[in-house]
Amino acid sequence: MTLDKTPRALKAGLEQREAQILGIRACFSKNALRRYSEPRSETEYRLAFSADADRILNSLAYTRYSDKTQVFSLINNDHLTHRVLHVQMLSRVARTIGRYLGLNTDLIEAAAMGHDIGHTPFGHDGERFLSRLTQAAGAGQFHHNLQSMQFLDVIERNGKGWNLTLQTLDAIVCHNGEVHARTLTPAPPRNFADLDTIVRQIRAGTTDDVIPMTMEGCVVRIADTVSYIGRDFEDAVRLNIVTRDQLPGTCRERLGATQGTIVFNLVTDLINTSIDQGSIGFSPRVADALKELKQFNYQFIYKNPLIKRHLTGIEDIFKCLFDRYMNDLIKADGSSVIYSRFLNGMDDSYRLNHSHAEIARDFIAGMTDSYFIRQAPYHLRPVPIDWV
């Protein structure tokens, strides 16, 4: 008998294997939904979420991860975490969890790879600065998770977007890893109209937190915290901002005092607590220790004035560039970099459906740290410091 090697047969074989190895709470690839039908679907042998991961990996926005701040910026130290490393660590941690829980690791990988693609230059501080400007200009609040969807669904491929699946975009939009939760239970199923409504509500400030609709999305969201919490502490130790002995005793006892032990203990507890459950979460004792570790990081690292010394100058650059690009757009100044490096070649539908403030937002949000600084006037450009 001749083996059928057509793309449709190859994909059917993979879908059958998913049915055999994934658990009942997994999101199966055959249920993936795209906003638009695709002519090449008949010749596509990859499963839908695997194709999503490939599209994200090949996006221009993914390439820019490598020069975006995680927590520490403008410090001459090559061993500090950048955004790209956090994304890779999250992908690894989340896939490990998903594998043990019988979930779809292709969906997990796609969501993990795309979750932070909308981050501005200079991390969460840059996010706050840009949000003030967009609100004042009538473009609503800026949130990096919404911007991730904006890049992948709208801006990439010269304004055509990647046509990612609903499940991947939902997990990206709902990945809020800053909110502490002991357990996460997936929300009821949504459609694209529901997701678009959620985006509008978050930008308008009428909704601030939404739970993913898949178990895979919940894993990515909770693994986001697992991936950054110990690594940020490790970077702070490297810079002598904190010491391991400063960690609260409960954290050291239940989680450990190094990146490796913290991740291992959190992942182990998460898997043991979540197996055969309809939710993802930690045991109460580990959840309490994680909450205490988060509070420690916020107090001694994220809000530490030592690492905020350059931020006044960075905020000045955000305002300078935003005002400059707004004026260039109003004047239709084709010589401006916002035309030559962003708008030229963009699909007409993008210009028609976005205000000047939204276009300036999208251009600035996509910048790497170094490109952002190069656009600033010389007198505003900060100089990296040798940390002592």
- pLDDT tens digits, the chain, 388 residues: what are they? 456 678 888 888 888 999 899 999 999 999 999 999 888 766 788 999 999 999 999 999 999 998 998 888 888 888 888 899 999 999 999 999 999 999 999 999 999 999 999 999 999 999 999 999 999 999 999 999 999 999 999 999 999 999 999 999 999 999 985 677 789 999 999 999 999 999 999 999 898 889 999 999 999 999 999 999 999 999 999 999 999 999 999 999 999 999 999 999 999 999 999 999 999 999 999 999 999 999 999 999 999 988 888 788 999 999 999 999 999 999 999 999 999 999 999 999 999 999 999 999 999 999 999 999 999 999 999 888 887 6
- Contact at 8 Å (CB) between 97 and 223? yes
Domain ranges of the chain: 48-307, 311-380
According to the model, what pLDDT value does residue 43 have?
Answer: 76
Sign of CA dihedral 327, 333, 336, 339: positive
CATH class of 48-307: mainly alpha
According to the model, what pLDDT value does residue 388 have?
Answer: 60
- Contact at 8 Å (CB) between 221 and 281? no
According to the model, what pLDDT value does residue 221 have?
Answer: 96
Q: Which two tokens stand for residue 53?
A: 């991961």
According to the model, what pLDDT value does residue 159 have?
Answer: 95
pTM over 0.85: yes
Distance CA 149, CA 144 (A): 9
